[in-house]
Structure 1
Amino acid sequence: MNFMKKSLITLVTVAMAAMVLGGCSNKASAASKKTLNIGILQIVPHGSLDAARKGFKSELTKEVKQHDKSITVNYNYQNSQGDQANLNSMAQQLTQKKSDLILGIATPSAQALAKKTKTTPIVVTAVTNLKSAGLVKSDEKPGTNVTGAKDLGPVDKQVKLLTTMTKNNKPIGVLYNSSEENSTLQIKMVKKYAKNHNLKLNIVSVTSTNDVASAVSGMADKVSGIYIPTDNLMASSMKTIGQKARAAKLPVVTGSIEMAEDGGTATYGINYNDLGKQAAKMAYKILINKKKPQDMPVETSHTLRLYVNKANAKSIGVNPDQIKKP
């Protein structure tokens, strides 16, 4: 009996030890896993900004998993649908939830986030000029909790591309939203290029999607082609612009590839999916390599390419094969 009791006690002791060790093992396994919480704030849904967001998410997840498969990346995506009040409240929510990093897509989103936190790292994309937007002290040394990959394209080359498709001496039409800071900056660049190359401009500004169709119709007989910068309101209206421009047989050069896909004729410019991936690589350096936004220079797009919307080109009588890189 004593032997049996001792054996039973030994078995119970071993079983309990195994349970304890198993519990410790599970806790150690759980402790070894880490979760990165990434906030994303986007001003409005449209092709360019959506592409930037998708590029960012896919690239950051891939980079993190290559570094450590046990790390989980959670994304909290907020879209204000163009409403400033929504944008501010969403920025507040994202900063209060103590995200490890927040992505600001487009200038208004980036500015809303920067007003809410001076400590949480913010990476931005689809912002044309971070310094003029008050986000950084300089591109070379931001000096704030903000850095990113800006979307300023080669405006001069884009306007030059448009001139190769125009068929008369009428002015170049320019359509933009004057309430967007990124757009007004590009219009200054268009004016400078036009002055240096003796080009006449017919510049039209709208601040609502409801006015886009009438604006294009009003320009139709007065211009030889239309240039549209990277502009959120215009990007949201590209299908309408494309329809009106095709009816008037006008070439349209846009600031981004996604805008040209939605209704333009061609562009030499940025691919926003690539730009989002570039921003993700910067975010990875902050999250994994412990870099600080304050010390990370703002980047411009690493890739520019010619894109031709062949169907739109043919519809206005332009041979897509004759459209070349400016």
Structure 2
Amino acid sequence: MMKKQIMLGMAMAALGLGMAGCSSSSSNKTVNVGILQIVQHGSLDAARQGFKTELNKEIKAKHSDWKVNYNYQNAQGDQANLNTMSQQVSQKNPKLILAIATPAAQAVAKKTKTTPIMTTAVTDLKGAGLVKSNEKPGTNVSGTSDVAPVSKQLKLLKSMTKGDKPLGIMYNSSEENSVLQVGIAKKYAAAHDIKLKLVSVTSTNDVQSALSTLSGKISGLYLPTDNLMASSMKIIGKEAQSAKLPVVTGSIEMAEDGGTATYGINYKDLGKQTAKMAAKVILDNKKPQDMAVETSDSLHLYVNKDRATHLGLKANDIKEP
């Protein structure tokens, strides 16, 4: 009898240890998140950093012992890289994928129809074929749109210019989001009797020559939230400074890198907003197909004081449009 009791006690102890081991492995959970970014530049980097910071915070608040493992891939603007990396990211069986910018989102969405995908820095999810509607996506994709307040940004640029020369707009004609924003700019300009001079480019090699075609013909330059423009801000800023041209950009990060001012989105904040949506998927089992696409919670006036001073503008005189 005693022997049976001892053996029963040992069995129970072993079971207890086994259960403790299961509990420990369940509590020390690792959440795998894939990230695919189209290219490296200030705005997209800020969105990624904001996303990671906020997602870590959201998860730790609910499960202090959970860890988040990020598989980050950057295509550096190369379509072949994008195709390969989207495959790699989706094959790792992540809990969720973050796609940064339209081409990255489209590439990942082609690779998986089941893994939840959150996007950020995508201007028009419906237009890009990522969702059925912004209100009810109906696919495994949702996230935040970086649609800029184009009309207010043009109004800001107009307030910083003199004379009757047209406002210039430079954009990448192969980026859907840029074409959309230029369309909005045209409508606003037509309604407010503002003349525009447009020039499109499709590679960084074309930027300098395109700027030279605008030299002396415009009173100010507008740049939409465009990956190519963002990647070329150092060049654009230098040329615009030499030509004494005020530059209003689609994003704050672009203005920091060479623009004069903007009234727009802070991409780090947009990334944080996206992370809050992602946390609902990871922690509360929400489905992207039922989560409405969100736009930026807040807009900010940013003035690059050094650039403004160089143009003879007082930073304090540049007001929110």
* Smaller-chain TM-score bracket: over 0.9
Cα deviation for residue 28 of structure 1 reads: 2.5
> Any idea what the Cα deviations from partners look like across 1:218-261, whole Å, max 9, x if unmatched?
21200000000000000000011100001000000000000000
CA distance in 2, matches of 1:315, 1:183: 28
Q: What residue number does 1:30 align with?
A: 25
Note if 1:230 corresponds to 2:225. Answer: yes
Which SS does the other structure have where 2:292 is aligned? coil
Q: Distance in 2 between matches of 1:25 and 1:146?
A: 38
Indicate yes or no: 2:49 matched with 1:54: yes
Query: Map of 1:51-200 to 2, 5 A cutoff?
Result: 51-200=46-195
Query: Which whole-Å CA distance do the structure 2 matches of 1:32 and 1:228 have between them?
Result: 48
Deviations 1:96-155 (A, max 9, x none): 111110000000000001111111100000000000000001101101000000000100
* Aligned equivalent of 1:243: 238
Letter in 2 for 1:229: P
- Map residues 219-298 of structure 1 onto 2, 5 A cutoff: 219-298=214-293
Which letter maps to 1:245?
A: A
Partner of 1:3: none
1:33: Cα distance to partner?
Answer: 2.4
The one-letter amino acid paired with 1:25 is A
- Runs of 4+ in structure 1 deviating by more than 2 angstroms, as ranges, are 10-28
Contact 1:220 1:250 in 2 (8 A): no
Matched to 1:127, the amino acid is V
> Letter of the aligned partner of 2:256 in structure 1?
E
The runs of 5 or more residues in structure 1 that have no matched partner are 1-5
Rounded to whole Å, the distance in 1 between the matches of 2:78 and 2:151 is 32
SS at match of 1:288: helix
Do the aligned residues in 2 keep the contact of 1:52 with 1:276 (CA within 8 Å)?
Answer: yes
Q: TM-score if structure 2 supplies the norm length? A: 0.95
Which amino acid counterpart does residue 74 of structure 1 have in structure 2?
A: N
The SS at the match of 1:303 is coil
Separation (CA, whole Å) in 2 of partners of 1:173 and 1:268: 18
Alpha-carbon offset, residue 19 of structure 1: 7.1
- Which amino acid counterpart does residue 82 of structure 1 have in structure 2? G
> TM-score, normalized by length of structure 1?
0.94
CA distance in 2, matches of 1:46, 1:91: 19
Distance 2:16 2:278 in 1: 38
CA distance in 2, matches of 1:32, 1:222: 64
Is the Cα–Cα contact under 8 Å of residues 249 and 317 in structure 1 kept in the other structure? no
SS at match of 1:302: coil
Larger Rg: 1
Amino acid at match of 1:179: S
Give the number of aligned pairs.
320
**One-letter code of the match for 1:247?**
S
Provide the alpha-carbon RMSD of the alignment. 1.9
Give the counterpart letter for 1:289 in structure 2: D
Code of the aligned partner of 2:141 = V
Post-superposition CA distance 1:187-241 (Å, at most 9, x none) = 0001000100111111000111111122222212000000000000000000111
Question: SS at 2:122's partner residue?
Answer: coil
- Unmatched 5+ stretches in structure 2: none
Q: CA deviation at 1:319?
A: 1.2
CA contact (8 A) 1:173 1:226 kept: yes
Give the Cα–Cα distance (whole angstroms) in 1 for the partners of residues 49 and 226 of structure 2. Answer: 19
Identity within the alignment, %: 64
Instruction: Give 2:211's aligned residue.
Output: 216
